Every structure is written in structure tokens, then in C-alpha cells.
Amino acid sequence: MRLYQVEAKPFTFDFDLKKTALIIIDMQRDFCEAGGFGEALGNDITPTKSIIPTVRKVLDAAREKKMFIIHTREGHRPDLSDVPKAKKRRSSAIGEDGPMGKILIRGEYGHDIVDELKPLPNEVVLDKPGKGAFYQTDLHLILQNQGIESLIFCGVTTHVCVHTTIREANDRGYECLMIEDGTAAFDPRDQEAAIRMINQQGGIFGWTTTSEKLLLGLKK
């Protein structure tokens, strides 16, 4: 049964709330605050930080509707044994000391989710070593056990971890809705392209919409 409808591109996204999860990708201090991994890669973190209030609004609405909620974190073991050499070569800051602890390392202050979006005890926190949230994690198992068929995405960065996860989810048969203003890339050109790449060709990877339209659709 498709109970809810959200105006979206390329056409209306309809979903059964009980079969839908909100996935918030990597809203970690490492990507949203100064001195973290995002900055270490040479980026200005203003765009990722600026979506926090919008993601919070979506999170609050999902909590009110008792939607299944998952928060992901990109990160590695302190001994770096799960960092591919090829990743470390092009992201050499991983494991280095920073003002928020070792960069992109589990258990460090910078690796955790920003205070405003702190997960509640009943929400899933999923640690992942890669960009995609399905790679080397139990995400698919968790979603299957819950009977989830539709996924709503917020988080960072749109063109990297959000995109990789949506592509993985699409191939596994999930219907994905990405929130345009609930996601951010460091460069607005990447944001624009990432949105278009989801909803083009009749929704080749899924749908996109705004937080306002999602909240309107959830009001019903």
C-alpha cells in the first residue's frame, strides 16, 4: 500500500511509511566542522555545515512519524588495518592527528555525528569503511529484516557518499528519494550535477525533492 506522496522529480514519489527508512549519511564533525577530514581534503566546510538545521527538520519529522532511522559514519579502525592502501594514498590525512582527534578514526571526537543530529538510542548507527553504506556493512540485512523498500536520503557529501549509497541501493531494488537541500557537496557545481544525475533519464537512480515538499507530503 502506497500511503504517502511527495512532489518530486522526475515524478511523484509515493511510499508506505512502514516500509521506508530515513538514512542520514555521514553528518560527522569530520565533514561539517573545522579541522576534520573535509578540510584536510582541501575543502571549505561551509556548505556541509549549513545543511544541519534542514537535516534536523527532516529528522524531527521522521521521528514524529516513527520512521525507521539510520545514521551512517565513514571511518576506520585506529590501527588503519581496514584502510585500503589505495585510499590512504589519496586521502593521506586519515589517521593523522587533528584538532578533533585522529582524522576519520572510529571513537575520535571528529568521527562522531554533530551534536544537533545526535542519534537516539533506538536509531541505527552504521559504521562503514567506504563511501557506500552497503559496502562491508550489514545495512542490506537490517533493511530486509525491517521490510524496508523505500529510502529517503539526507547527508554529505552529495556526490560522494550519498551518491555511492543511492547507486548501491538502487541496484539492490530500493526506491530512493534524495533531499536536495538536506544534502550538500563542498562545491555547488557538484551539488547541481549530483541532483541531476539522480533524477535524469526518468529517475535513473531515483527521485529528488526539497525538504519543504517532503514535510508537506508527510503532513497527511
Q: Which residues are catalytic?
A: 26, 128, 161
Q: Which of 13, 15, 31, 205 binds ligand TIU (CB under 6 A)?
A: 31
Q: Of residues 118-157, which lie at the interface with ligand TIU (CB under 6 A)?
A: 131, 156-157
Residue 163: CB minimum distance to ligand TIU, A? 8
Site for ligand TIU contains 112 (CB under 6 A): no
Binding marks (x or -) toward ligand TIU, 152..191, rule CB under 6 A?
----xx--xx------------------------------
Torsion of the alpha carbons at 78, 80, 81 and 83, rounded to the nearest 10: 140
Q: At a CB cut-off of 8 Å and minimum separation 6, what does 69 contact?
A: 21, 22, 24, 59, 62, 63, 119, 120, 123, 124
Of 153 and 207, the one with the shorter C-beta distance to ligand TIU is 153
* DSSP string of 73-95, one letter each residue: EE-B-TT-TTS-HHHHHH-TTTT
Q: Is 10 exposed, middle or buried (0-12, 13-18, 19+ CB in 10 A)?
A: middle
Name the residue whose CB lies closest to ligand TIU: 161
Site for ligand TIU contains 26 (CB under 6 A): yes
Site for ligand TIU contains 74 (CB under 6 A): yes
- At 66, the amino acid letter reads K
Q: Could you give the CA distance from residue 126 to residue 169 in angstroms, rounded to a whole number?
A: 15
Q: Which residues form the interface with ligand TIU (CB under 6 A)?
A: 26, 31, 41, 74, 131, 156-157, 160-161
